[in-house]
Amino acid sequence: MSVLKDKKVLLGISGGIAAYKSAFLVRLFIKAGAQVKVVMTPAAKEFVTPLTLSTLSKNEVFSSFTQDEEDELWNNHVELGLWADFLIIAPATANTLSKMATGNSDNFLLATYLSAKCPVFFAPAMDLDMFKHPSTKKSFKNLESYGNLMIPAATGELASGLQGEGRMAEPEEILNFLEDYFTKNLPLKNKRILITAAQLTKL
């Protein structure tokens, strides 16, 4: 049984080519027994559809403050942030990471992030030069200083055709990272337990 069973997972998706992997990540969360809600940036919808993610998560997908342009009902980002046991942003593009690091709240995902009281994980995904840029490194440092946890990017072939660091971790690697994180905080982790049994004899 996965340690993620019954966890409330809020998955944030930003606009990068690695967004297609998020559909596989949702499936893995569901298979592990977690509840999943998805928040997308407007740009993310260019790479993966809300319909796909809604079908896989069995929940409404959020991407704006209102349900449609003519709807006066608003989506409550504070409520979403408080609902989650943890928030993971995957992929986390350089643009989204920079906004998270500076408190720039110009879309629904960023407003939800700033409202979250739970652990926050982010999985960077960008091209090699963007990943190595000093401003990106500063974003990483700032976010980690806030208590956010980075899921390390992989090294491999990137969308540009370059080889190097910046590739988003595979969904299975992300799941393993999260399971390791939550497992190490269990009270009986690495404890040795001796169970004895005695038989009572009736006199």
How do residues 56-68 score in pLDDT, each as one tens digit? 999 999 988 766 5
pLDDT tens for 20-36 read 999 999 999 999 999 99
Is the pLDDT at 187 greater than 90, yes or no?
A: no
Taking the C-alpha atoms of residue 203 and residue 181, their distance in angstroms, rounded to an integer, is: 52
The reply to whether the predicted model has a pTM over 0.95 is no
Nearest Cα to 62, choosing from 47, 92, 42?
Answer: 42
The CA distances from residue 21 to 24, 44, 61, 119, in Å, are 5, 12, 16, 22
**Looking at residue 159, what is its pLDDT?**
81
Instruction: Spell out the domains of the chain, with CATH numbers in brackets.
Output: 8-184 (3.40.50.1950)
Taking the C-alpha atoms of residue 82 and residue 179, their distance in angstroms, rounded to an integer, is: 21
Q: Give the residue-averaged pLDDT of 112-129.
A: 94
pLDDT tens for 68-94 read 555 556 677 888 888 999 999 999 999
For 115-168, the three-class secondary structure string (H helix, E strand, C coil) is HCCCCEEEEECCCHHHHHCHHHHHHHHHHHHCCCEECCCEEEECCCCCEEEEEC
Is the pLDDT at 53 greater than 80, yes or no?
A: yes
Beta carbons of 98 and 139 less than 8 angstroms apart: yes
Question: Which range is least confidently modeled, 39-48, 106-115, 183-192?
Answer: 183-192
Is the pLDDT at 197 greater than 80, yes or no?
A: no
Q: Give the residue-averaged pLDDT of 137-148.
A: 97
Question: Which pLDDT band, with edges at 50, 70 and 90, does 192 fall under?
Answer: low
Is the pLDDT at 201 greater than 60, yes or no?
A: no
Question: At which residue do the structure tokens 């960008």 appear?
Answer: 126
**Looking at residue 44, what is its pLDDT?**
96
Average pLDDT, whole number, for the chain?
88
Residue 11 phi/psi, 5-degree rounding, is -100, 120
